[in-house]
Amino acid sequence: MGVYLQKDNTIATVTFDLPDSKVNLLTADVLMRLNGILDQIEASKEIKAVVIQSKKPNIFIAGADIKEIESIKSAQEGIQKAKFGQDILNKLEDLEIPTIAVIDGVALGGGCELALACTYRIGTFNEKVQIGLPEVNLGIFPGFGGTYRMPRAIGLSEGLKMVLSGKAIDSRKAHKIGLFDRLVPQAGLEDSVKEIVEEIIAKPSRVKYRPKKKKGLLGLLESNRLGHEVIFLQSRQGILKATKGFYPAPLSALEVIRKNYYLGRIKGLELEAREFASLAVTDVSKNLIRVFYLSEKFKKFNIEGGDTLKPQPIDKAAILGAGVMGGGIAQIFSTKDIGVRLKDINLTALASGLKAAYDVYREAVKKKRLTQAAANRKMGRITATLDYSGFQNADVVIEAVVENLDIKKKVFKELSGSVSPKTILATNTSALSVTEMAKQAKDPSKVVGFHFFNPVHLMPLVEVIAAKQTSSDTIVSALALARKLSKIPILVKDSPGFLVNRVLLHYINEAGHVLEESGDVEGIDGAMTSFGMPMGPFALSDAVGLDVGIKVLHILKDAFGDRYDSVQVFDNVIDAKLLGKKTLAGFYVYHGSKKKLLNPQIKEMVPNIHFSALDAKDCQRRLICMMINEAARCLEDRIIADAETVDCGMVFGTGFPAFRGGLLRYADTLGAKALVNQMNEFCNRLNTNRFRPCAYLTQLAEAGKGFYQ
């Protein structure tokens, strides 16, 4: 049934427990069943209060059924589905007796909206509690009354944050802003709830919406219509800065709230349903739902037969190499309360790694994501050493030393004598052969690639690289470790550059070719951010370090030949020691942590002085075609399993625009035949073979198929 009713004298308990599912969802069937239960409660003369709870551990209600949202084909269908949910939650809200939602876990989307329709919301101190309205991440916004109730329940400013950001908050934050009326311990929860309910029945003081009064300037702004307009304006500016206009849902949600904040419930919810439906049928929403499915699939990904293998527990870790990357990896382990030993060859290097970890925690405290006490406790999980002491206790060692194969091979030989036979030896290499490193280990089957992306705490992807010698047990353990670290793993066969860097370096190198023709660094970066990339290729090169990119490019050239020839301008910039942010000058000059200005030296380093004006659309087509062609080669070479792996890697490893669904999903909207024709046109016009379509892409074009067919 998914939801059922129990009565205990004057108290009714509505319990959600969706059969054969780890989570509760507000499917159409569950909502219909809830509707019937509400009718029974409404008809009863004895019931004095209703408690709404979940039987599933750490889950209240995870939201509506995304498949039902994905299936919406027309605006009219979207309106009907939204109104169906709205009417049932209105019925809940309109009960003449108090209703109490008991939230001891995840309450997202429709689950949060259901809680908002209750008179009271009780949360627990359970660290698994997360409540929020993440719908904007799917290209829509709340459609069961969330845009109407949330700003009224907790105030306009906080309400807008909850709806427009799509971010969930924990129980303490929910209590602080007034979303939870009471916090109680998990232990003795039933008794606590009973006591609170009896208190409510004894002294009924039902107030439909009771936001906490704000103090200071915010309180003044929320107290009048003119102040509201200031809040709306600031919210709009924040949305445009964050989304660059590519994602319509937050702006649409803002406009709906700006209007329905002054409307009665009937008209306010009509407006919500209508605008929700208009978003649900857009390509942006359909693509964001596909990306959501991708993330969920790879969070659970395992190798064939892996379900019968038990992952090795990882309770202690060691990191070899305490640079910014090593420090970042250590920090990620410590967030999960895994003890981690950080090693390097001198105290200066160790200090650098510890600082990198500390800086992440300091920022988290500053943004109130962690308390100082919690940050200190987690930071205390990291210990430093100049030798291999403690490594014998590590369940996994991750090597993050300089990107040089000879040095890494030497390190793996040393490591083998300093760890236990059970220890997994992982390399964070971004391009080098894991197979060659594994040859140096006593047990090559325990060696695996585990490639994080920088900055480690922000980038969700990990490439798990299987060398020829890597055992299935080690791969399964590595995939489980990635999930434990809250990362999204993709499995890649050992090959130079693996997947992400192999595709990305083609993109950056082609940007260099366009630069030599146009001399326009900012124009090229602007063209790609206009396409939806989070930053342009030259800003990205500065962030990573051009020396790092060139090193990978040379590795790829040695493996794949002339198509990875670096352009002259890159070599000139390297020779001038303009390495990017770490030297405060690259393609841009950096003043402070964020401000950047175009580096005037760059034009002098471009060998072609006869520039032609940049065509932004042509630039976009050239760079994206190079990525698509190389991704097709990766499929052709079978280093990854399918197009979904490519799209997961490019969205979560490079920031390829999610609203386009992924690199190869976007390629399918263009069509293989059109892509082949475009690439051949580039070859002829630019007198080059670097755009020559690979065999796999040509075969798709000839067969009239796409990457997903």
| Cα–Cα distance, 189 to 200 (Å, whole number) | 16
Which of 113, 135, 275, 463 is catalytic? The answer is 463
β-strand partners of 339: 316
Between strands 2-8 and 99-103, the pairing is unpaired
Q: Compute the Cα dihedral for 54, 55, 61, 64 and give only its sign.
A: negative
- Classify burial at 205, counting beta carbons within 10 Å of its beta carbon; exposed 0-12, middle 13-18, buried 19 or more: exposed
Q: Which residue carries 């959600």 as its tokens? A: 16
| Cα–Cα distance, 573 to 566 (Å, whole number) | 12
| Cα–Cα distance, 443 to 316 (Å, whole number) | 20
Q: Which residue carries 């299935």 as its tokens? A: 472
Token reading at 379: 């930071």
For 139, the 3-state DSSP assignment is coil
Closest of 139, 141, 191 to residue 162, by C-alpha: 141
Report whether the peptide linkage leading into residue 455 is cis, meaning its omega lies within 30 degrees of zero: yes
β-strand partners of 320: 343, 399
Q: Which residue carries 């709340």 as its tokens? A: 142
User: In this structure, how many other beta carbons lie within 10 angstroms of the beta carbon of residue 679?
Assistant: 24
What DSSP element (H or E) covers 589?
strand 588-591
Active-site annotation holds for 463: yes
Is residue 202 within 8 A of residue 98, CB to CB? The reply is: no
Closest of 613, 648, 167, 315 to residue 453, by C-alpha: 648
User: In this structure, how many other beta carbons lie within 10 angstroms of the beta carbon of residue 564?
Assistant: 22
Closest of 671, 629, 669 to residue 646, by C-alpha: 629
Alpha helices in 94-224 (DSSP H): 110-116, 146-154, 156-165, 171-176, 189-202, 216-222
Radius of gyration of the chain measured on its C-alpha atoms:
28
Closest of 472, 478, 418, 470 to residue 451, by C-alpha: 478
Active-site amino acid positions: 463
